[in-house]
């Protein structure tokens, strides 16, 4: 499975999504930009997408109102260890109230992996951040066994982008 992203204005991207109702697509926005994601086993409809392979997946884009993209630059040497960590994650997030989906995305043209989580709304994401499941998922962070302490894994600091997914106009 592949996931493709493109940026633009919300109205322009929403028209593309609406034109392809049989495709798995979500248009999202924040105060700075809008992004359209397209998940497919076929080729994308975008002219110049950012392209990813989905290496772990759970849930669906249905009923998502809030998206969090954890962008993590990984060195070539660090890719196997990083992917192993996420392919063997505890999977506790799936049981959290308001959880819609997670996608672990391997970049096809850059070094920045994306951990995409989708939530019913921002409140559910914030609740997860203060949950025991979040603590468990991140319990090794900052310790000797944590991936963040492994040498040669990350090429630069990670960063988070957040988007809102407006409800469909009925």
pLDDT in tens, 76-120: 999 998 998 888 877 788 999 999 999 999 999 999 999 999 999
Spatial separation of the C-alpha atoms in residues 100 and 39, rounded to whole Å: 15
Q: Which of 121, 80, 77, 68 is nearest to 97 (CA)?
A: 121
pLDDT at 170: 35
Write down the pLDDT at residue 144: 53
Chain Cα centroid distance, residue 39: 12
Global pTM reads 0.89
Kindly give the parts of the chain with pLDDT less than 70: 137-151, 169-170
Q: 2-164, what's its fold? A: Alpha-Beta Plaits (3.30.70)
Q: What distance in Å separates the CA atoms of residue 65 and residue 101, rounded to the nearest whole number?
A: 11
Count the Cβ atoms, other than its own, within 10 Å of residue 104: 24
The pLDDT value recorded for residue 92 is: 80
Q: Phi and psi dihedrals of 127, rounded to 5? A: -60, -40
Residue from 8, 29, 10, 30 nearest 18 by CA: 10
Give dist(CA 57, CA 118) in Å, integer.
Answer: 12
- In this structure, the number of other CB atoms found within 10 A of the CB of residue 39 comes to 22
Looking at residue 140, what is its pLDDT? 55
Give the per-residue pLDDT at 142. 55
Q: Determine the pLDDT at residue 30.
A: 97
Please, is 56 exposed, middle or buried when counting C-beta atoms within 10 Å of its C-beta (0-12, 13-18, 19+)? middle
pLDDT of the residue at 125:
95
């Amino acid at each position: 499975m592949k996931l493709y992203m493109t940026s633009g204005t919300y109205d322009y991207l929403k028209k593309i999504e609406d034109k392809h109702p049989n495709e798995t697509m979500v248009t999202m926005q924040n105060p700075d930009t809008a992004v359209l994601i397209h998940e497919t086993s076929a080729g994308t409809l975008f002219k110049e997408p950012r392209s990813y392979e989905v290496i772990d997946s759970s849930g669906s884009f249905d009923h998502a109102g809030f998206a969090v993209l954890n962008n993590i630059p990984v060195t070539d040497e660090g890719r196997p260890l990083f992917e192993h960590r996420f392919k063997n994650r505890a999977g506790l997030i799936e049981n959290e109230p308001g959880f819609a989906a997670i996608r672990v995305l391997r970049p096809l043209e850059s070094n920045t992996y994306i951990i995409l989580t989708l939530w019913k709304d921002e409140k559910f994401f914030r609740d997860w951040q203060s949950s025991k499941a979040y603590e468990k998922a991140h319990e090794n962070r900052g310790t000797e066994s944590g991936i963040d302490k492994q040498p040669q894994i990350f090429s630069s600091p990670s960063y988070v982008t957040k988007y809102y997914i407006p409800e469909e106009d009925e």
